[in-house]
Structure 1
Amino acid sequence: MSDSATKESSSAAPRSAGGARILLDGVTKLYPGQSVPAVDNVTLEIPAGEIVMLVGPSGCGKTTTMKMINRLIEPTSGRILIGDDDVTHRNPDELRRHIGYVIQGAGLFPHLTVGDNIAIVPRLLKWDKKRTAERVDELLDLVSLEPGKYRDRYPRELSGGQQQRIGVARALAADPPVLLMDEPFGAVDPITRQRLQDELLRLQDELRKTIVFVTHDFDEAVKLGDRIAILQVGSKIVQYDTPEQILAHPADDFVSDFVGHGAALKQLTLTRVRDVELHEAAVAHVGDDPAAAVKAARDRDREHVIVLDAHERPQRWLSITELQQPNSLSQVTLDENLESVSLASTLNDALDEMLTSSHGVVVVTGRRNTYQGVIRIETLMGAMAGLQSAARSAESLP
């Protein structure tokens, strides 16, 4: 077993109840005055604990399909089962308190603090104050935001990426088995979007919720999805399969056109950082002896060390020169621009981070954002060269 796998397996066991199967059985939505259904007789089974991506052109009904699961839109006919429970017969308000829902822009209440935003559903469910407060702090820690630092802030004091993390935390507050995500990362910049995607994959590795995720971005679907449903107008499912199968064997010309050119090269987005060799950097911890950190760097012939906090979370790089300053490790603040990827990140993500790194490596994190090692540019380029060669060979086959 690799060092990274060993570290990952030693992390705390998930505490969540996990996901539940979803079955849409002959679901139709016909709006009054319309002759053509917006969603027409859709049958789709979503396995428990998987991320299923709904993708397709504008107006194909993917968002309508998803919103019928928590009955923000009422189906005209058909059954929707979560586990063995037909939710079309449940009180819709009570149902929504047990289904997480994340929208673009997070949708936080601006007049409530971060803690109060996260606590909305637990309070509706009549949780006591102690249990609610503990859950708020647990979720802030889960999405890698220090509870003491962020609990009492207001949404306007947060970046767009931080707000979106709070939106995810709020959706998870009552530990729902199902999470619905409606283009949640579409309003942030590309770098923040990549990091939010990585954060979702990290959370899913720990929580194993059943996630239905609507996106218009096929590359996002390939990166995040265990399965992808490609829809045409009326929510007709043209192909429902794993990303690997859709890329290798598109069902028809519509799917081929939707995937776009260079489908073989998109296989690069299926290869994860955890699939390549990781290396160890020189490491120090906040509060360590700086002289020992300097020695660790020189023993590895390095000019920098990566500083970790008490929870093994990377904070920033410090050079040997900086470490020679008095009390250099007594208080170390987080570098918000620290180049890092998770074990679930793709090689393309790692390359993007590598291009802005001044250290020749990118830090790799695992569960709860704990340090796993570093990925080197040589390792990354060697892996990508091999994948590109295989992709070209595949494209040349008749």
Structure 2
Amino acid sequence: MSEPTSTTSESTRAGGARILLEGVTKRYPGQERAAVDNVTLEIPAGEIVMLVGPSGCGKTTTMKMINRLIEPTSGRIFIGDDDVTDRNADQLRRHIGYVIQGAGLFPHMTVADNISLVPKLLKRDKSRISDRVDELLELVNLDPGQYRDRYPRELSGGQQQRIGVARALAADPPVLLMDEPFGAVDPITRQRLQDELLRLQEELHKTIVFVTHDFDEAVKLGDRIAILQVGSEIVQYDTPERILSHPADDFVRGFVGHGAALKQLTLTRVRDVELHDAAVAQVGGDEQAAIADARAIGREHVIVLDAQQRPQRWLSLRDLERPGSLRAVERDHDLETVSLASTLNDALDEMLTASHGVVVVTGRRNAYQGVVRVETIMDAMNELRAAADDAEPVV
């Protein structure tokens, strides 16, 4: 059996595809009001669009009609140039990634079997599937040798959610639908998963439709945000910058809530600001050389890195005066770090509990990149306020 034709060409599938909802309505029998009523919405290729609003506003129903887990009563839905309302629904879903809260992994299947589920349905070559599993595990920062043969019960909630994202990406779909995927994990894990999604998006440029109740999450992740109210009316569809600085009406102002100025920090990533250098030392390195390097740049502490350049802990110059202090350095699990994909709001949160006045920044595979200072955050906030005042509406 040949593989079903995708909604887009192979070249397009390497990135994202435009989604267009045109007059989409969903009516359930016996209900006077439509669950979704005549929604028209264009989602640009390669962008993350957040659907946010109170319970019952139709945001999840709207998203599920894109892959026809819920069949629209009327209207048309395009992915690329194809009207998918005429497609075979099962074939359509095999070319749309789908991530739900709690990952939804099959407990009797290994990690590798969970990830390879859709490629197997598409009759892809076994060796190609195996390579793809390892590639995706690497992509979500999980070691294939350590995780591919484990079962979901052996994983933490955050690890399961990473596997859920890897499974959704297995067939390289142009579109990824995410239904409150990080809602069931603790706040620290949630922040890390958000950062991981942003890092993945930098590499993959998928079109992502993401449903959330959390407006802060919408501001952090979204290129655009659609704010819905009951009756599936889209009250404002705009960039996070415009929604924070120019809310469309009182409903949006109430949804944004207090602290809009502070939320502006969520609009800037750590990678967008200048990082500063800290004094660094290597595990197994020379203590006296590390002390000399730190004093040369006026530092009283060094950040110790392992062989993979991953931050382990801060040590004072007094600590380094003890012979052998760098011989075996265990990781401080309370070390305050953020990633390049983190927002300045994340950095500020970490900084408030940091004891060194800075936050360590890591990149791919948690390698050290530099530090962020509070002065940098304050400068960025002033720039954001000025830019918001001059911003023009999205047409």
Task: Normalising by structure 2, report the TM-score.
Answer: 0.85
Pair 85,367 (structure 1): closer, same or farther in 2 beyond 3 Å? farther
Task: Please say if 1:340 is aligned against 2:337.
Answer: yes
The yes-or-no answer on 1:190 pairing with 2:187 is: yes
Structure 1 counterpart of 2:146, from 136, 144, 149: 149
The whole-number CA distance in structure 2 between the counterparts of 1:262 and 1:106 is 32
> How far, CA to CA, are the matches of 1:45 and 1:388 in structure 2?
27
Relative to 1, partners in 2 of residues 1:318 and 1:343: Cα closer, same or farther, differing over 3 Å? closer
What displacement does 1:290 show?
A: 7.0
Aligned to 1:10: none
Letter in 2 for 1:306: V
Residue of 353, 365, 373 corresponding to 2:370: 373
Aligned to 1:220: 217
Percent identity between the two aligned chains: 77
**2:199 alignment partner in structure 1:** 202
Deviation readout 1:106-158 (Å, 9 max, x if unpaired): 11112222222111112222222221121111111111122222222222222
Is the contact between residue 281 and residue 302 of structure 2 (CA under 8 Å) also seen in structure 1? no
Which region of structure 1 is more displaced relative to structure 2, 176-185 or 282-291? 282-291
CA contact under 8 A between 1:139 and 1:169: conserved in structure 2?
A: yes
Secondary structure of the corresponding residue to residue 44 of structure 1:
strand
Residue 235 of structure 2 aligns with an amino acid whose one-letter code is: V
1:316 to 312, 320, 343: 312
Mapped to 2, the partners of 1:46 and 1:382 lie a distance apart of 33
Q: Secondary structure at the match of 1:274?
A: helix
> Quick one: structure 1 residues 210 and 189, their matched pair in 2 at CA, closer, same or farther if it must change by over 3 Å?
same
Query: Which of residues 36, 45, 49 in structure 2 aligns to 1:52?
Result: 49
In the alignment, the residues of structure 1 paired with residue 172 and residue 16 of structure 2 have an alpha-carbon distance, to the nearest angstrom, of 10
Judged with a 3 Å threshold, the aligned counterparts in structure 2 of structure 1 residues 131 and 55 are, in CA distance, closer, same or farther, namely same
Q: Is the 8 A contact 1:55 1:217 kept in 2?
A: yes
Cα–Cα, structure 1 residues 50 and 285, in superposed 2: closer, same or farther, change >3 Å? farther
Partner of 1:5: none
In the alignment, residue 305 of structure 2 is paired with which amino acid? V
Q: In the aligned structure 1, how far is the partner of 2:291 from the partner of 2:117?
A: 48
Distance of aligned partners of 1:127 and 1:338 in 2 relative to their CA distance in 1, 3 Å threshold: farther
1-side partners of 2:32 and 2:124: how far apart?
A: 46
TM norm structure 1: 0.85
Give the aligned partner of residue 6 of structure 1: none
Greater shift, 228-237 or 358-367, is seen at 358-367
Letter in 1 for 2:226: A
2:302 matched residue in structure 1: 304
Check if 1:106 corresponds to 2:98.
no
How far apart in 1 are the matches of 2:270 and 2:76? 40
Instruction: Name which of 20, 23, 28 aligns with 1:23.
Output: 20
Which residue number in structure 2 is paired with residue 137 of structure 1?
Answer: 134
Find the counterpart in structure 2 of residue 73 from structure 1: 70
Corresponding position of 1:176: 173
Change in 2 beyond 3 A, CA 1:65/1:335: farther
* Unmatched segments (≥5 aa) in structure 2: 1-11, 391-395
2: CA distance, partners of 1:324 / 1:147: 38
Please name the residue that 1:250 is paired with.
247
Distance 1:88 1:285, change over 3 A: farther
RMSD: 2.9
The alignment partner of 1:115 has SS state of helix
Task: Give the whole-Å Cα distance in 1 for the aligned partners of 2:268 and 2:200.
Answer: 19
Change in 2 beyond 3 A, CA 1:16/1:338:
farther
Aligned mates of 1:294, 1:121 — CA distance in 2: 54
Q: Which residue of 2 aligns with 1:325?
A: 324
Aligned length: 375
